[in-house]
A and B are shown apart, each in its own frame.
Chain A
């Protein structure tokens, strides 16, 4: 069975190369589909963009403009955008993809199309 496999984070097409952060991801599979979780701390609901094109699922997260907190004394956090691309399993019904964002955790539910869901057929 083909699964959701990662592609490398795509770079910008404008020639100018943008460095993206690859968000940490967890992926669970059950009979009905997949649940994908991505960590995007600092990204609000309206900063998330999810697109499906050519069998690829692209997830982008943009941070809201950080207000100024003063002079940085010590920094570990990157300000770059989050981006990750997955190859979609053809069994996924792309019309039924749903997503929610809660405290920087993006959860995407990918349902399998009815035709491929496991079915129990009772013999009459």
Chain B
């Protein structure tokens, strides 16, 4: 056992830069928004929801118009990544575009899962343009009920 100097946990985590980091996050998110703004067809990011219950974590991603074979789901440690490409279909030669609001091209979206999951038991379903990834929780992440006997 090593001996380490006692530090008040409250004081140890405080740093004068902490207040700045929230400002930095705010600025980062502003730039993120700007890079996804219409007119920048280079990248787009699908919207997603994360749900959690006692048994599983569920991630739902809006991928309207993306074909099943054009996206990939991967899990590394506790980071789930959905990447793929939305391809234009109806763009025909000889037709002029009057309105172009949809995003095409490649996308990547990564999320950190709220709890450890069983990587080999992950399932996914794609319906109505919404991808639903179901990630059963690892045993150690499930809430346990402990019976306490009162004497």
Contacts and interface: CB of A to CB of B under 8 A. Distances in A.
Interface of A: 3-4, 6, 24-31, 34-35, 37, 39-44, 64, 69-77, 102-105, 107
A6 to B, nearest CB: 8
Contacts of A105: 64-65, 129
Q: Interface residue tally of chain B, by bracket?
A: 35 or more
Q: Which 5 residue pairs spanning A and B have beta carbons closest together? A: A104-B129, A70-B53, A104-B64, A69-B51, A105-B65
Contacts of B129: 39-43, 103-105
Contacts of A72: 49-51
Interface in B49-90: 49-54, 56-58, 60, 62-68, 90
B114 A73 contact: yes
Interface of B: 47-54, 56-58, 60, 62-68, 90-92, 94-103, 111, 114, 126-130, 132
Contacts of B100: 26-27
B102 A26 contact: yes
